[in-house]
Structure 1
Amino acid sequence: MSFFHVFLVFSALPLAFAGWSAITLVQNYKKASSTGLPITIRFISPGSPLWMMLSPLIMRIAEYLPFTTSFIATYRRGWEARERCRPHVKMGDLFMICTPGGNWLKVCHPLITSDILKRKWCFERDLDAFEVLNIYGKNLATSQGEDWNRHRKVSAATFTEKNHELVWRESLKVGRQMLEYWLYRFPKPVRTLAQDTRVFTLNVLAAALFDKSYPFESREESEARERRAVGAKDAAFGYRDSLCTILRQIVPIMVFGEQRLRDSWWLPASWRRAGHAVSDFRNYVTELINEERALLAQGKQNTPNLVTNLVRASEEGDGSLKAGNPKPKQAILTKDEIISDLFVFAFAGNDTTAITLTHIIAFMAARPDVQDWVSEEIHYHLYDDDETKWDYVNCAELKRCWAVVYETLRLCHPLGQIVKTTGLRPRVLQYKRQSVVIPEKTTVEINLPALQTHPLYWDRGLSWQPGNFIRGAGYPEILRSDVMSDFLPWSVGRGVCPGKRFSQVELVAVLVALFRDHRVEPVPEKGESMQEARQRVERHAKDVEMRLLNEMREPERVALRWYKVEQRVIERRP
């Protein structure tokens, strides 16, 4: 084939793509118009894999070009979390987004949200949105129907109060270690907030998954430890490090797969290591599963962690693998399904909690009054300086800490959208006393950043005010519910996050570790007052961009300084 013919072929590809996009956009616009709802057109499909890979680079370039403000606001991934309620204030409770790749219905209405969540057979989960989590096969996040019921039954019994008690203790310990790192080992000011919170949540997760405790170390310290090992595998850190690598390289794992990553010499070394990490994690968990099943067959009890709990919960009845039973019943979940569910728990729980903690600390740095407010409560309930006396039962008493967590998730949710689909049939919604027919194959997204900030439901909804969730004066205060018609950070009903209590306990405990006796403040830039620095940090805390999840766009620009304070004595009632 001549160079000219090759040139024609490659020139035709963009033209063919543009033509296909135009045709499908017109078709999708006709479908969207049939609803009678307001429509906004996007010429790029947000779920396009090519756009997902290229958009960060395109957006960085666009920021330096004139007249791109509207383009960035419209097409930046995670624009819903950045814009929050503003599009719905302008366009209404329901509106359609029409793209070449399909139509999206955006929902910001408490009653319609409740209706969609109740009609689970009409508005099913959009499994395509969770395809990235099928690294080890089907799991709770990527199954539906009877398969989902099996996974849900087991997961509901996996997160126990004993496990939450372990999370409380480990979060206090690792949180204190992270604080000591910021105080003494890190060169001031601290600019690694997002990195360090991921190490914190990873350590807590490893303790909950495998019952293995790790000291806090920064990424630089971790890399130095690996270099000192001179190529030998550090078995003590193997569990945690393999999981860390998988979570960090989830996109290339999704695109290339485990085997191709391991065998392709031409790929970056970090990607090839990710392929080996997928195999290592499988081997680690398989060994633990086999060990637990052997103990279960002998009628013995192992230390309760998520692996052992999941194995025991997956056996039919009250433990079918009993001593002397040569033919145990078939487990509810297979070994591969257990591994896949454990990975999903790790993926869903690690980054979401780390991102939330990053936002919390940034907001707290901007609000010294909230730091004092929280610290006062912590001292009231945990008045003894001996940390061993801070019991898990105290966790529920720290209502101001819970309020800080709730308010942060209200304003900056890592997921943002509860994603459903109409499936292969049109579905009807009642809106303004009329029936609105939503066409088949429409993605339906309950827009949490809008619902949880809309002025109809929230006073000063775009500002961070933890007091929104506290009622009453003095102790005991009343904490508002974490399930309201306009506040659904962990979803609701059968679709509620199984690790909800896990994440709540983890975040409350780390707030205790960080803010009982210490404070954090931003480091002003040149010529900046402290008040201006606090306002800048709050702006950065609200500035969100989607990578895999919605997270702070430029956390490295938040420079912090920690210091210890002398506490006044809080008078306690007899």
Structure 2
Amino acid sequence: MASTPFCKTGMSINKLRLWVTFWDFSDPMSLWKRHRRMFNKNLDDRISRVVWIESQKQAKATIEYLENNSGNETLDGLRKITINVIGKAGYNWEQKWSLTEYDSPAKRATGKEAYFEMLGLATNMILQAAFIPRKIMQLPFMPITLRNMGYHLERAPRYINEILRNEKQSNRTKTSRENNFLSLMLQASEEKLDSEAKSPLTKEEINGNLFVFTTAGFETTANTMGFAVIFLALYPEWQSWIQEEIHNLGTSDLTSEYEKVFPKCKRILALMFETLRLYTPVGHSTRAIFNPTSVAGADGNIYHLTPAVDIYVEQSIIHLDPEIWGSDVNEFCPSRWLDDSGNLIIMAKGHFLPWSGGPRVCPGLRFSQVEFVATFLVLFQNSRCAPLALPGESYEDASVT
């Protein structure tokens, strides 16, 4: 295939404009390279350590709540973990774990508080947020949650500007910067990313990156953790499997030992990978042809592609291909990810794409892996999960897959 790069399609970019009005998309390839350098520079082990500690802190609060409150609130609890971890690692915004719903007006909230209330509402009502005008949302007869979301979405630029202003003022009084994504991006805005960068990050670029970082990282990771818990409830033998690994770690104080403990949690990562294989967060990746390109098809023919052609890479089909995964492709089997020595198997290029692949692989890959492992390490260290039977239903009925 020619070396011409594939780019994001114009359609995808225009969809993004509904949410992020801060970037100049006139040169998509140079834009991507610029922001990719920024993400790679800042989403490093400094952030991973924060994610590790905060994920475990939030997971402990979740377990304490669930042990004392019966009900079907596990999945909501996982979503709270995810948004709170992003708040801490992204904005140095510490939030106590709580299942409080966004059902009352919070019009005095500003800055980080208002921004995260907006994100919580928008991610739960993604279609309404994208397609209903803000003014319509705020009409008196609309549901209170929709009115609140409209209020906050209309003021989102103000919130972000306030967050940036406060962070800059805070940094001026500190001898060292906080290890959070916002602080590191502000540092990037004050210097050139590298010798190829024409200028530092602008305020508009920081705004756009913060929004994408927050929304993309929240929904995908929260859903993956939710599916993983459901799988473990349906197949309790895999709970025992990961707990064996947890109990063999040889320490009860796991919170502060990211560099030591995370590399040993291979079974928990295998659980994550198997969940992502069966329930990929994004159904397909879209790429566009900007220059004439030739590709070889599986049938041996050469196909000549012209500009304005879109390419759809269907991850779900690849992840359920028996030629890649074997005859048990439809079975939930986390151990398929480990070799005989218990080490993680590295799949061939293009066979496992939950974070996409190649130069466009998701920059939050490590972030999501650390969050998942830290959360499940705490949740299943001394606890187990089981299906919750509906009224009139037996446990056996609830456990039927």
- Residue 283 (structure 2) aligned to one of 391, 396, 416: 416
Superposition RMSD on alpha carbons, in Å? 3.2
Separation of aligned partners in 2, 1:254 and 1:120: 33
Separation of aligned partners in 1, 2:188 and 2:244: 41
Aligned-pair CA distance for 1:177: 1.2
Separation of aligned partners in 2, 1:136 and 1:336: 10
- Residue 429 (structure 1) aligned to one of 291, 295, 306: 295
Alignment match, 1:490: 355
Alignment match, 1:301: 176
Structure 1 alignment gaps of length 5 or more:
1-114, 320-328, 537-574
Give the letter for the 1:129 counterpart. Answer: S
Separation of aligned partners in 2, 1:307 and 1:236: 12
**1:521 alignment partner, SS class:** coil
- Residue 210 (structure 1) aligned to one of 91, 94, 100: 91
- Residue 253 (structure 1) aligned to one of 121, 129, 135: 129
Separation of aligned partners in 2, 1:215 and 1:294: 24
Aligned-pair CA distance for 1:439: 6.3
Give the letter for the 2:129 counterpart. Answer: I
Separation of aligned partners in 2, 1:528 and 1:471: 40
Change (3 A) 1:482 1:182: farther
Give the letter for the 1:316 counterpart. Answer: E
Give the letter for the 2:245 counterpart. Answer: E
Aligned pairs (5 A) from 1:23-102: none
**Does structure 2 conserve the Cα–Cα contact (< 8 Å) formed by 1:453 and 1:461?**
yes
**Does structure 1 conserve the Cα–Cα contact (< 8 Å) formed by 2:111 and 2:160?**
no
Separation of aligned partners in 1, 2:141 and 2:13: 28
Separation of aligned partners in 2, 1:140 and 1:378: 47
**Does structure 1 conserve the Cα–Cα contact (< 8 Å) formed by 2:319 and 2:351?**
yes
Change (3 A) 1:241 1:373: same
Alignment match, 1:465: 333
Change (3 A) 1:336 1:396: same
Identity %: 25
Alignment match, 1:174: 58
Aligned pairs (5 A) from 1:138-149: 138-139=22-23, 144-149=28-33
1:344 paired with 2:212, answer yes
Alignment match, 1:384: 251
- Residue 203 (structure 2) aligned to one of 331, 335, 339: 335
State the TM-score, normalized to the length of structure 2: 0.87
Change (3 A) 1:307 1:414: same
**Does structure 2 conserve the Cα–Cα contact (< 8 Å) formed by 1:253 and 1:261?**
no
Deviations 1:242-284 (A, max 9, x none): 32123234333332455x4577667554334223323554334
**2:295 alignment partner, SS class:** strand
User: Which aligned runs of 4 or more in structure 1 are off by greater than 6 angstroms?
Assistant: 140-143, 295-299, 526-529
Alignment match, 1:277: 152
Deviations 1:181-213 (A, max 9, x none): 22212x33x2x4443322221111111121122
Separation of aligned partners in 1, 2:27 and 2:75: 31
Deviations 1:511-550 (A, max 9, x none): 10111111111134578665553333xxxxxxxxxxxxxx
Give the letter for the 1:242 counterpart. Answer: M
- Residue 403 (structure 1) aligned to one of 260, 270, 275: 270
Change (3 A) 1:528 1:288: closer
- Residue 35 (structure 2) aligned to one of 137, 151, 174: 151
**2:56 alignment partner, SS class:** helix
Aligned-pair CA distance for 1:468: 1.0
Change (3 A) 1:520 1:268: closer
1:183 paired with 2:50, answer no
Alignment match, 1:503: 368
Structure with greater strand percent: 1
**Does structure 2 conserve the Cα–Cα contact (< 8 Å) formed by 1:140 and 1:341?**
no
- Residue 361 (structure 1) aligned to one of 217, 220, 229: 229
Alignment match, 2:381: 516
Structure 2 alignment gaps of length 5 or more:
none
Separation of aligned partners in 2, 1:521 and 1:418: 34
**Does structure 1 conserve the Cα–Cα contact (< 8 Å) formed by 2:121 and 2:149?**
yes
Separation of aligned partners in 1, 2:9 and 2:346: 28
Change (3 A) 1:152 1:315: farther
Residues paired across the two proteins, number: 396
The structure having more radius of gyration, on CA atoms, is 1
Give the letter for the 2:350 counterpart. Answer: S
Aligned-pair CA distance for 1:285: 3.0
- Residue 321 (structure 2) aligned to one of 454, 459, 471: 454
Aligned-pair CA distance for 1:452: 1.2
**Does structure 1 conserve the Cα–Cα contact (< 8 Å) formed by 2:295 and 2:304?**
yes
State the TM-score, normalized to the length of structure 1: 0.62
Aligned-pair CA distance for 1:444: 1.7
Separation of aligned partners in 1, 2:349 and 2:185: 30
**1:436 alignment partner, SS class:** strand
Give the letter for the 2:9 counterpart. Answer: D
Separation of aligned partners in 1, 2:395 and 2:25: 44
Separation of aligned partners in 2, 1:354 and 1:341: 20
Separation of aligned partners in 2, 1:301 and 1:468: 44
Separation of aligned partners in 2, 1:298 and 1:526: 57
Change (3 A) 1:317 1:401: same
**Does structure 2 conserve the Cα–Cα contact (< 8 Å) formed by 1:524 and 1:533?**
yes
